[in-house]
Amino acid sequence: MNLPLSSNLRGILFMLGAVATFSVMDVCLKLLTPHYPAVQVAALRGLTSLPLVLLWVALSGGFRQVVTRRWRLHLLRGVLAVAMLAAFAFALRELPLAEAYSLFFVAPLLVTALAVPLLGERVDAKRWAAIAIGLAGVLVVLRPDTGRMFNLGSLAVLFAALAYAISAITVRVLGRTESTQSMVFWMIVLLSVFATAAAWHDWVAVRIEHAPILLGLAVSGALGQYAITEAFKHSDASVVVPFDYTALIWGITFDALIWHTTPDRLMLVGASIIVGSGIYLIRRERRPA
């Protein structure tokens, strides 16, 4: 059954808000990466959001709804969250936001490809072609020379996208039995615990002058999580997910305003190929089998 236009429009507006606030969160991460190890930045992402998530769960039904029997999948998501955020934080130290976003946009393609062996889903020839074209777009962003192909920042983004894709597969499975509050609660709690434990040996004392950045990290992360939850609550995924690609506009804008860098033509061409392939796959998901 098709959702009414007003509901889809509301979902789109929430998705645009989620992308904007998550982009602010990524700016905060990028500002922190020169001063702290990547794993500690991942820990700070979890720790700053944890009080707000606890408050949200308490006000939206209480903590009974986070009780779970699916510990293995939640633990896997926690490990993947640490790997993804640490890798992405490292990449932001090496790359402009827009370039990191362009490479990370390969994640929806990886979700579709991984759904075959992990979920037993069937992918037709046209979808495989879209995946191949999207991966070709990654090569365009990376450039055809070995210096960029093996750039650690680029490889870190691709690893983060892979971790995100596997995590998205686990969300599909958890979503059959778990509430949104349960999935968000355990991801943030386990991210905070695992990342803090991993970073503890090399923990750098947090400097007081970074308090505004940490506050921005907490608020933007919490607001983004709320907005994206509302987006998927009010609209079909195939309607709102394409608007995730507006992150590239925010990345280019923040790069220009804060770090005074602009993307070159090849990066924009590669990003367009990746985005086009992703939107094609998302639109095909709406069609009945």
Q: For residue 44, give the 3-state DSSP assignment.
A: helix
Residue whose tokens read 């969300």: 171
Q: What size, in residues, is the chain?
A: 289
pTM: 0.87
Query: Max Cα separation, the chain?
Result: 56
Residue 37's nearest CA partner among 203, 174, 158, 190 is 203
The region of weakest confidence among 132-141, 192-201, 275-284 is 275-284
Q: For residue 161, give the 3-state DSSP assignment.
A: helix
Which two tokens mark 54? Answer: 């606890």
Q: What is the DSSP letter of 259?
A: I
Q: What rounded mean pLDDT belongs to the chain? A: 87
The b/e string for 210-219 (b: 16+ C-beta within 10 A; e otherwise) is: beebbebbbb
pLDDT at 74: 92
pLDDT digits (tens, 9 = 90+) for 94-150: 999 999 999 999 988 888 888 888 878 787 888 889 889 998 898 888 875 555 556
Instruction: Decide if pLDDT at 204 tops 90.
Output: yes
Model confidence band, residue 237 (pLDDT cutoffs 50, 70, 90): low
CA distances from 162 to 38, 52, 103, 169, 281 (A): 18, 28, 11, 11, 17
The b/e string for 15-34 (b: 16+ C-beta within 10 A; e otherwise) is: bbbbbbbbbbbbbbbbbbbe
Q: Say how far apart CA 105 and CA 276 lie, in whole Å.
A: 10
Residue 81's nearest CA partner among 105, 116, 49, 109 is 49
Q: Amino acid letter at 286?
A: R
> Domain residue spans in the chain?
5-286
Give start and end residues of each alpha helix (H) in 145-179.
Answer: 146-149, 152-174
Beta carbons of 61 and 182 less than 8 angstroms apart: no
pLDDT digits (tens, 9 = 90+) for 51-96: 998 998 999 889 998 988 889 999 999 999 999 999 999 999 999 9
Residue range 224-242: average pLDDT?
Answer: 76
What are phi and psi for residue 70, nearest 5 degrees? -100, 55
Q: How many Cα atoms are found within 13 Å in the side-chain-facing hemisphere of 74?
A: 21
